[in-house]
Structure 1
Amino acid sequence: MSRSAHTKPMVLCLSGLDPSGGAGIQADMEAMLMTGSHCLPVITSLTVQNTQNVQATQPVNGEILRHQVESLLSDLSISAVKIGLLDGPDNVRVVADILKQLRDVPVVADPVLIAGGGYDFGAVDIIDLYLEQIAPHATIMTPNTHELFRLAKGSDSQSEAAERLLQAGAKHVLVTGGHEPGELITNRLYSGQKGDEPSQWQWARQPGEYHGSGCTLAAALASYLAQGHIVTDAASLAQDFTWQAIKYGWQPGAGQLIPNRRYPLEI
């Protein structure tokens, strides 16, 4: 059998393992498969969770993380990086060291601080360290409004909070508004250009609560950046993919719905 000449951009994904399959590394793999990229999955944390909430987490040893990525870098060409759950200071420091080796690669940082069911991942030491060591390497950060204000402590407005993340070194900040009230969800993309108004998108709110929507968005965004799209176009494409996945979402258990990232094959 001959080797296929077809290639896909490869995205290094550093995310937690969600046994329910709704969020984390499985969300990354499914979203990238459906948007045309190849996911290189490196698990940062083992979690005990279902569609209702997280019960416990266990960070993966930092040296194992480091060795996995070093092995990949010795063999494969990385076109983008997607960062999900970083479960503990050791995780954060190791990932920051990894990013220093990938300075010319777009990085999507999804600051997973609060689970949909309310479980709090974001200890104060993690938040401060995240801003210090991850934000400076981020091409784009993708917090929801709750995560945004946790990261930018003391901010009075969304624009002020986003500006703090930009000052920490992120080049762009895509703030998702799914936790805010209203029939329409408003997402805003802030850039580091002083005086620029944020780009804005609005999406019809779908009924129910969704487990893994943020992971889906960040993964799709990394996939499109890996394919060479500029940030604004990648953000638009990723939001559309995520909204469609939510629209065709399903409920496997007694908790939140899961985005159907395979929707193009199943509608």
Structure 2
Amino acid sequence: MAADTSTEKTGTEPMQEAPAPACVMSFNSTDPSGAGGVAGDVATIAAMGAHALPVVTSVVMRDTAEVFDHHALEPDVVVEQARSVLEDVTIAAWKVGFLGSAEGVSAVAEVLSDYPDVPLVAYMPNLSWLEEDEQQAYLDAFRELVLPQTEVLVGSHQTLTDFLLPDWEGERPASPRELAVAAAEHGTRFVLVTSVLVASSKTPDQFLDNVLASPQGAITGEKFERFEVSFVGAGDTLSAALAALLASGSELHMAVGESLAFLDQSLDAGFRPGMGNVIPDRFFWALPPEEGEEGEPGAEGGSEDGDVPGTRHIH
């Protein structure tokens, strides 16, 4: 017979329930490689000490090297997933990744609009693998419906330039501030631009800058040394980490610095499970140090889903 541990029998105070971690709802696709999508979001949000509420928007057929196809879920199915949980759980932040289709964007945007005080981190991946008409319809819907509700838009310099300034013809690349101005025209408060190529005047090596910017200018960021390994899942990792930190109450500039440091160390501990790209290890901090290592943080670096080279301790 089980022991009776009630207050009446023992005279002790009932055990208090520990406070729940902050909850982040992620709208994203499935990724069978585990590199990004809801799999990457769940791992990242958990690693940051928050609780993920994953809502599947589409099924993507891919491996660690490339995307082959995808099937968007019906918008009603996406909405029902979200509404079922939102009626039960209080959320502290949103993370938006790939929403599957223009119709999916519309459906998710309607859910987001019911919670205007919850901060939204939106990640814009490289969608060059979509058919041109499908891609354009998706981007137009995202621009019109999601950007007005976005606190921070995350993406690589090239992807955000193509998305926000498609007619850019300047002799120099658009600056993070100019991207922030373009995003602000649609209602987005900040952009976190990754993989901004910077050439140092003191060394022939090139660097990649990662900059949080508003229409008034750059706010904070980190510069990483350019490297030669391609990663997949980096953008989802960065944006999910940022959403989790905001959900936990961190100030934006501090959350950006911590999420960039987390991404850097995840990439430094990255591993190659197949024949394609390297996947970030979001639980690098749980691994025992290898023999001979001094336990210092990872080497400098930065990435954006499969298009940034780097040197890493891949295992």
Taking the TM superposition and a 5 Å limit, the aligned residue runs for 1:58-69 are 58-69=71-82
Match of 1:258 among 235, 259, 279: 279
Equivalence for 1:173: 191
Match of 1:25 in 2: 38
The answer to whether the Cα contact below 8 Å between 1:206 and 1:247 also exists between their aligned partners in 2 is no
Tell me, which stretches of 5 or more residues in structure 1 are unaligned?
none
Q: Following TM superposition, by how much is the alpha carbon of 1:180 offset from its aligned partner in structure 2, in angstroms? A: 7.4
Is structure 2 residue 208 aligned with structure 1 residue 185? yes
Residue 119 of structure 2 corresponds to residue 128 of structure 1: no
2: CA distance between counterparts of 1:95 and 1:200? 30
Per-residue Cα deviation, 1:186-209 (whole angstroms, up to 9, x for no partner): 0111114x3x44423212344400
Normalized against structure 2, the TM-score is what?
0.78
Distance 1:186 1:55 in 2: 31
**Counterpart in 1 of 2:247?**
226
Q: CA deviation at 1:111?
A: 1.2
> Following TM superposition, by how much is the alpha carbon of 1:3 offset from its aligned partner in structure 2, in angstroms?
7.9
> Taking structure 1 as reference, are residues 136 and 188 closer, same or farther at Cα in structure 2, changes over 3 Å only?
same
**Which structure has more RCO (C-alpha within 8 Å, separation ≥ 6)?**
1
RMSD, matched Cα: 2.0
Identity over aligned pairs, percent:
27
Secondary structure at the residue paired with 1:242?
helix
- Count residues in correspondence: 262
Q: Does 1:146 align with 2:146?
A: no
Q: Is 1:47 aligned to 2:60, yes or no?
A: yes
1:231-265 alpha-carbon deviations (Å, 9 max, x no partner): 11111111000000000101011110000111001
Q: CA deviation at 1:227?
A: 0.5
In 2, the alpha carbon distance for the partners of 1:207 and 1:45 equals: 31
Look up the match of 1:212: 233
Report the secondary structure of 1:20's partner residue: coil
- The TM-score with structure 1 as length reference comes to 0.92
Cα distance in 1 for residues equivalent to 2:184 and 2:230: 29
CA distance in 1 between counterparts of 2:49 and 2:77 reads: 28
Gaps of 5+ in 2: 6-14, 200-204, 290-315
Q: Which has the larger radius of gyration?
A: 2
| SS of structure 1 residue aligned to 2:155 | coil
Change (3 A) 1:78 1:189: same
The one-letter code of the counterpart of 1:98 is: V
Q: 1:259 to 1:197 in 2, by over 3 A?
A: closer
